[in-house]
């Protein structure tokens, strides 16, 4: 079932070549944070290039429910009139975060140290995902949570009336958990400290500093120690959202496996906590180049040029790279099918608790398309068949997971027989223009 309406089966078939420019939408992680931090500032934040995907729109609506003004000015421009740190009002209805783990977890953090109560829910995918990873540290601030069995949504959070700051070591590599703790720390007096053993995406830290919070990161042998001074007055910002490397992954990977392709994907953020896929693809022998490498808003940015790469080799992806490409393993496994040799992906237990169990979803679909996949709890391997040797010809489940749907549609662009996904609806959560953008490059995608 699509999260919004009836299932929308989609099919992709072998295409001649992909050519042209792929202008992918704004970064999802930064878009969520722009709305939330805008709502926590005093005054007017302007956002350009916001991702207008369902996940982010749900976060925008949530910020309105907590009292901020959120206004669509058209063409990716948005305005947020914030209520300030600690200024959230109590929502008078259930907050529906749709499909978005990032949305719900960050918002729970942001409201947990306010003297209000809020109830959160989502679609069937979100309501099956673990929330204790967030509510456990939020309890340290004095917040209480009551949810369903196993710490699942729907869930009510009673915010701390007199919050205390927390010191927390994040037990899983998760930027969502880290960010929830930091956002809760905003309205606690004194210093909140978060320790992460493995570096995860650092947009929250960078953006909090940009909004005027006092935040520092110390890199030690134990990991990164992030210290935030509570109760700052956040200053509204003008934000230009960079384009999403996780969305860029789809046209890039499609170009690598489709004969004769040459695709330019401009203005992609290459923050080292996000760019692991591109390093991995280069190690596999991809004809992938960073053109016009530059700095924008303190972040490395480049135009990615991806060309058909018939001699890709399977590799072992270093486990310590996992966090920097966690959302890209599904599409990497598709590229791996077109490589020669085996691609090993280890240290990826987190893939089991994403929008779907992504190891299981990809393994089943790849096997149905003629690929040999082995898996364990925190690893999987894909046996590459080499270019021109991937059969395809299967109908697979997208399981309310946008990245599973897009990955199998990419596979169908280069496999002998077409690939069908049972529901392409979830693609709208992160990449609403996927179909038209890929079609513009020459992909053959149909609704069936
Ligand atoms: C995100 C963090 C990641 C990622 C998600 C977006 C974020 O999740 O999978 O798509 O914006 O913080 P985890 O932090 O749970 O690994």
Residue 370 Cα to ligand 1 middle (Å):
30
Residue 361 Cα to ligand 1 middle (Å):
18
Instruction: Quote the CA–CA distance of 329 and 341 in Å, as a whole number.
Output: 17
The predicted model gives 289-314 an average pLDDT of 93
DSSP 328: G
Can you tell me which atom of ligand 1 is nearest the CA of 133?
A: 15
Of all protein residues, the one whose alpha carbon is nearest to atom 16 of ligand 1 is 174
Residue 38: both structure tokens together: 């805008």
Q: Is the pLDDT at 153 greater than 50, yes or no? A: yes
Residues of the chain with CATH 3.65.10.10: 10-26+242-447, 28-228
pLDDT in tens, 6-62: 999 999 999 999 999 999 999 999 999 999 999 999 999 999 999 999 999 999 999
Give every CB contact of residue 388 below 8 A, 6+ residues apart in sequence. none
Can you tell me which atom of ligand 1 is nearest the CA of 204?
A: 12
The predicted model gives 126-136 an average pLDDT of 98
Strand partners, 316: 344
Q: How confident is the model at residue 448 (pLDDT cuts 50, 70, 90)?
A: very high
Which of 36, 105, 174 has most ligand 1 atoms within 8 Å of its beta carbon, as the pocket-test mutant? 174
Can you tell me which atom of ligand 1 is nearest the CA of 201?
A: 12
Instruction: Quote the CA–CA distance of 436 and 443 in Å, as a whole number.
Output: 9
Which of 201, 244, 328, 404 has most ligand 1 atoms within 8 Å of its beta carbon, as the pocket-test mutant? 201
The predicted model gives 294-303 an average pLDDT of 86
Instruction: Quote the CA–CA distance of 151 and 156 in Å, as a whole number.
Output: 11
Residue 298, Cβ neighbours under 10 Å: how many?
Answer: 9
Does the active-site annotation cover 327? yes
Which of 101, 181, 199, 242 has most ligand 1 atoms within 8 Å of its beta carbon, as the pocket-test mutant? 101
Q: Is the pLDDT at 380 greater than 90, yes or no? A: yes
User: What's the length of the chain?
Assistant: 448
Instruction: Quote the CA–CA distance of 53 and 404 in Å, as a whole number.
Output: 16
Of all protein residues, the one whose alpha carbon is nearest to atom 10 of ligand 1 is 327
Strand partners, 168: 194
CA dihedral 23, 52, 249, 261 (to 10 degrees): -30
Can you tell me which atom of ligand 1 is nearest the CA of 174?
A: 14
Strands 379-385 and 340-346: antiparallel
Of all protein residues, the one whose alpha carbon is nearest to atom 9 of ligand 1 is 327
The predicted model gives 198-203 an average pLDDT of 96
Residue 347, Cβ neighbours under 10 Å: how many?
Answer: 16
Of all protein residues, the one whose alpha carbon is nearest to atom 15 of ligand 1 is 174
Residue 197: both structure tokens together: 């053993």
Which of 176, 205, 324, 431 has most ligand 1 atoms within 8 Å of its beta carbon, as the pocket-test mutant? 176
The 3-state DSSP class for residue 302 equals strand
Q: Which of 244, 327, 401, 423 does the annotation list as catalytic?
A: 327
State residue 2's pLDDT score. Answer: 39
Of all protein residues, the one whose alpha carbon is nearest to atom 5 of ligand 1 is 102
pLDDT in tens, 67-89: 999 999 999 999 999 999 999 99
Instruction: Quote the CA–CA distance of 254 and 186 in Å, as a whole number.
Output: 42
Instruction: Quote the CA–CA distance of 345 and 349 in Å, as a whole number.
Output: 10
Residue 29 Cα to ligand 1 middle (Å):
7
pLDDT in tens, 119-128: 999 999 999 9
Average pLDDT over all residues of the chain: 97
Can you tell me which atom of ligand 1 is nearest the CA of 32?
A: 11
pTM of the model: 0.98
Residue 201 Cα to ligand 1 middle (Å):
8
State residue 295's pLDDT score. Answer: 86
Can you tell me which atom of ligand 1 is nearest the CA of 323?
A: 16
**Which CATH number does the domain 10-26+242-447 belong to among 3.40.50.1000, 3.65.10.10, 3.40.50.740, 3.40.640.10?**
3.65.10.10
Instruction: Quote the CA–CA distance of 72 and 297 in Å, as a whole number.
Output: 23
pLDDT in tens, 359-373: 999 999 999 999 999
Domain boundaries 28-228, corresponding CATH code: 3.65.10.10
pLDDT above 70 covers a percentage of the chain that reads 99
Residue 174 Cα to ligand 1 middle (Å):
6
State residue 299's pLDDT score. Answer: 78
pLDDT above 90 covers a percentage of the chain that reads 97
Residue 175 Cα to ligand 1 middle (Å):
6
pLDDT in tens, 203-233: 999 999 999 999 999 999 989 999 999 999 9
b/e 27-39 (16+ beta carbons within 10 angstroms → b): bbbbbbbbbbbbb
Q: Is the pLDDT at 1 greater than 50, yes or no? A: no
State residue 4's pLDDT score. Answer: 55
The predicted model gives 154-183 an average pLDDT of 98
State residue 296's pLDDT score. Answer: 82
Pocket (CB within 6 angstroms of ligand 1): 29, 102, 174-176, 179, 200-201, 326-327, 350
Residue 328 Cα to ligand 1 middle (Å):
11
Unique residue bearing structure tokens 């496996």: 257
Residue 406 Cα to ligand 1 middle (Å):
18
Residue 179: both structure tokens together: 């960010």
Instruction: Quote the CA–CA distance of 354 and 127 in Å, as a whole number.
Output: 12
State residue 261's pLDDT score. Answer: 98
More confident residue, 3 or 74: 74
């Amino acid at each position: 079932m699509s999260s919004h309406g009836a299932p929308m089966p989609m099919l992709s078939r072998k295409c001649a070549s992909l050519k042209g420019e792929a202008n992918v939408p704004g970064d999802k992680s930064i878009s969520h944070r722009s709305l939330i931090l805008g709502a926590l500032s005093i005054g007017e934040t302007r956002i350009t290039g916001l991702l207008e995907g369902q996940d982010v729109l749900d976060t925008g609506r949530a910020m309105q429910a907590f009292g901020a003004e959120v206004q669509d000015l058209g063409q990716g421009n948005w305005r947020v009139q914030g209520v300030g740190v600690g200024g959230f009002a109590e929502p008078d209805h259930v907050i529906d975060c749709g499909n978005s783990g990032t949305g719900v977890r960050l918002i729970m953090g942001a409201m947990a140290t306010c003297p209000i109560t809020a109830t959160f829910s989502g679609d069937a995918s979100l309501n099956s995902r673990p929330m204790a990873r967030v509510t456990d540290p939020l309890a340290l601030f004095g917040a209480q949570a009551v949810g369903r069995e196993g710490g699942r949504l729907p869930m009510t959070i009673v915010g701390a009336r007199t919050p205390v700051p927390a010191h927390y070591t994040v037990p899983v590599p998760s930027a969502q958990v880290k960010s929830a703790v930091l956002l809760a720390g905003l309205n606690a007096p004194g210093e909140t400290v978060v320790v992460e053993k493995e570096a995860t995406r650092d947009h929250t830290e960078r953006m909090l500093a940009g909004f005027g919070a006092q935040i520092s990161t110390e890199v030690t042998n134990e990991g990164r120690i992030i210290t935030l001074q509570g109760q700052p007055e956040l200053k509204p910002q003008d934000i230009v959202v960079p384009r999403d490397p996780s969305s860029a992954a789809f046209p890039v990977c499609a170009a690598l496996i489709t004969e004769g392709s040459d695709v330019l994907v401009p203005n992609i953020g290459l923050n080292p906590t996000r760019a692991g896929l591109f390093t991995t693809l280069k190690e596999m022998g991809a004809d992938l180049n960073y053109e016009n490498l530059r700095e924008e808003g303190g972040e490395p940015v480049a135009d990615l040029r991806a060309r058909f790469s018939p001699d890709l080799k399977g590799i072992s992806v270093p486990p310590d790279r996992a966090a920097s490409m966690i959302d890209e393993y599904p599409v990497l496994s598709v590229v791996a099918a077109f490589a020669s040799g085996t691609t090993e992906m280890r240290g990826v237990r987190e893939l089991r608790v994403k929008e779907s169990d992504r190891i299981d979803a990809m393994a089943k679909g790849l096997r149905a398309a003629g690929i040999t996949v082995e898996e364990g709890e925190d690893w999987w391997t894909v046996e590459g068949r080499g270019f021109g040797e991937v059969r395809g010809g299967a109908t697979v489940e997208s399981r309310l997971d946008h990245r599973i749907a897009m990955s199998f549609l990419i596979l169908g662009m280069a496999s002998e027989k077409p690939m069908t996904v049972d529901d392409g609806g979830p693609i709208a959560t992160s990449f609403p223009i996927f179909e038209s953008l890929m079609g513009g490059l020459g992909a053959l995608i149909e609704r069936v």
